[in-house]
């Protein structure tokens, strides 16, 4: 009954996250497939398909939200990778993390910086660009 | 010894937040004046004076971080007002709050939407623009 | 395109929350109507329509999650009211809050107990039953 | 002076958690034995010995609270194991995690689903039952 | 069966918090009296009766923990009052709040400073001493 | 322009944290050097250089704040090491963690106790002293 949303979400997820996105949904298949479906439908088919913000802004705000939340390193690193995919530079990602420091403090911010470092290293990158 | 940073921060705070910014610092004067000074110096003199992100992006990510943090309604409403000051539209603010829903859930997001509603109402506005 | 989900969600929301549920969605109409729609569709049309847990269990776990989250008093009180609507007793609600104390500590738990007290008082009740 | 509570708590902990419960307390012996004692006395001797909720409900709400709290994976996995011990099915555990998604978002929920997956895998199970 | 702990806790609570402590327990009487009993027994009879830290240190660390937790203003203000009762100065309370700023950010810290301001004002004080 | 603060902060960081402090700043050099600079300037040059609390009190409150925050194990373990450096005993560190239990619950507290255990073990210690 919600096929359109699923299709649209799946397209959006692939467009943004590529194979790593498929792997997240795949990883939920044997434990909570419906949770994976909701991520696709609600997360990507509904919210990420809205026109009101651009991809860059969606990734910068996702990084800020996950930095502030804490304890969400896998999700943060996943969305840092999406940010790189949609053309956010490493500098802008780091800048977003630094911007969170006055709001949420150094503990959350240092963890986020380490997440960025791990993602950039795996991407064969230098850390600033 | 850090006069430059204070001056720069104070200018930046006034430019972004106007009188409401002065009132926050003023409100700390008799309880924790140095905390007010750090907000000016570190928050505005250091971080908000960095070139790596534009004012719009700084406000969208501030709104996302404070939505995710929760229990920070005064700060969230303050930064929603700054967002309006720097030209972020009401729609973009609401869009940022909606974007947080998949990440941090409806409880935090509904509270943030109410904060936006209060700010927009006080600004004599309609809620969408 | 997601009319079924909206209809199903709206029925479920009315069945569980009655007029207070409609008011929450109504209250979002002029600020973030799509957020209200997602609450109906995803919250009630998808998740609250699933068969795997009974209404009582959904409310006890909602109360536990919102107690643990903190800073979500409006949502907690709303779901305490739903709990009463679906036949959870005041004692069971209080017991769920007490059960959270070892996990999340007295600060979150005392706030939740006060929320329960407010809801029970407004319901013209005694506080234990 | 609180021997009864300790005895009652220890019995309760063994009944619910078996050897893994003993190991948690044992693991605190050389660092903070009194903290282990309080877990036994307050957590199990007081709260888990109360009559107002059944074991199933106590575990479903514990899972919801720890999912919402975040950053509590060891405790969450421990209580998922207790849930299995007291007859909660894998499906009900997953359903509880999914139920938390609208309240606390996908970041916390995906982490909890992974915790469930790890516990079920270690228990030699299939993931749904 | 735990009379000693209750007695000891009640004495400790009165000694530290005076009438405001009694009011908190009293306020729980008609909603969750056992939660009030656990606060007395575990909070004050067990933990606050331990010899390993002095009263001043217990209050400074309580203020830091509640500042970091967020959304716990009633508990924070209660423990700021206890801090004053056991001889912590207003300056030391403010200093503790400021000390938290690098760790947990300005949002949590500004809220805590406002809590301190409210408590000091109600105590007929000036804000620094 | 803020050389004094950096110098003062760097001295303070070395005095408190020794080589591990240098490593944290060093570890940020290739990802977010300015974040490292802010930690030195604001964290150590401003806040840790204030006279209002002693080093022992600053470490006890840092441990309490990071225990309450959760998801901050690297920072917590770092500050437990500083606590040992400035003469806080292992018993006092554990006592501070136990003191947090009534406020923030066993989940956060057990994680903090394990962090303390790891630090004490690496320091070739016994766990109590």
pLDDT in tens, chain F (129 residues): 456 999 999 999 999 999 999 999 999 999 999 999 999 999 999 999 999 999 999 999 999 999 999 999 999 999 999 999 999 999 999 999 999 999 999 999 999 999 999 999 998 854 444
The string of pLDDT tens digits covering residues A27-82 is 999 999 999 999 999 999 999 999 999 999 999 999 999 999 999 999 999 999 99
Asked if D54 contacts D92 with a C-beta cutoff of 8 angstroms, the reply is no
For residue E77, is pLDDT > 60? yes
The string of pLDDT tens digits covering residues D100-124 is 999 999 999 999 999 999 999 998 8
Question: What whole-number distance in Å separates Cα of residue A114 and Cα of residue A95?
Answer: 13
Q: Which of F104, B43, F50, B22 is nearest to E94 (CA)?
A: F50
What is the 3-state secondary structure of chain E?
CCHHHHHHHHHHHHHHHHHHHHHHHHHHCCCCHHHHHHHHHHHHHHHHHCCCCCHHHHHHHHHHHHHHHCCCHHHHHHHHHHHHHCCCCHHHHHHHHHHHHHHHHHHHHHHHHHHHHHHHHHCCCCCCC
Question: What whole-number distance in Å separates Cα of residue F46 and Cα of residue F2?
Answer: 11
- The ipTM value here is 0.94
pLDDT-derived band at B124 (thresholds 50, 70, 90) equals confident
For residue E34, is pLDDT > 70? yes
Query: How far are the Cα atoms of A52, B66, F81 from residue E117, in angstroms, in the given order?
Result: 40, 23, 33
For residue B128, is pLDDT > 60? no
Q: Do B53 and A104 touch (CB under 8 A)?
A: no
Question: What whole-number distance in Å separates Cα of residue A55 and Cα of residue C40?
Answer: 26
Q: Which of A55, D79, E54, B99 is nearest to F54 (CA)?
A: E54
For residue C124, is pLDDT > 90? no
Asked if E103 contacts E116 with a C-beta cutoff of 8 angstroms, the reply is no
DSSP state of F129: -
The string of pLDDT tens digits covering residues E99-111 is 999 999 999 999 9
For residue B127, is pLDDT > 60? no
pLDDT at res. E58: 98
Which of A35, A70, A71 comes nearest D109 by C-beta? A35
Q: Do A71 and F70 touch (CB under 8 A)?
A: yes
pLDDT at res. C125: 52
Flag whether residue C35 sits within 8 Å of chain D, measured between CB atoms: no
- In angstroms, the separation between the Cα of residue B4 and the nearest Cα of chain A is 19
Q: Do F5 and B4 touch (CB under 8 A)?
A: no
Which of F70, F94, F108 comes nearest D31 by C-beta? F94
For residue A109, is pLDDT > 80? yes
CA C46 to chain centre: 16
Nearest residue of chain D to residue E69 (CA atoms): D69
Kindly report the pTM of this predicted structure.
0.96
pLDDT-derived band at E3 (thresholds 50, 70, 90) equals low
């Amino acid at each position: 009954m919600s096929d359109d949303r699923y299709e649209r979400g799946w397209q959006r997820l692939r467009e943004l996250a590529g194979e790593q996105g498929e792997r997240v949904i795949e990883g939920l298949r044997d434990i909570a497939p419906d949770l994976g479906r909701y991520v696709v439908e609600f997360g990507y088919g509904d919210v990420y398909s809205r026109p009101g913000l651009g991809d860059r802004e969606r990734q910068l705000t996702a990084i800020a939200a996950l930095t502030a939340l804490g304890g969400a390193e896998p999700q943060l690193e996943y969305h840092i990778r999406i940010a790189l995919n949609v053309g956010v530079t490493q500098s802008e990602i780091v800048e977003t993390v630094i911007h969170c420091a006055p709001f949420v403090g150094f503990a959350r911010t240092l963890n986020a910086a380490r997440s960025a470092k791990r993602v950039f290293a795996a991407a064969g990158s230098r850390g600033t660009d």
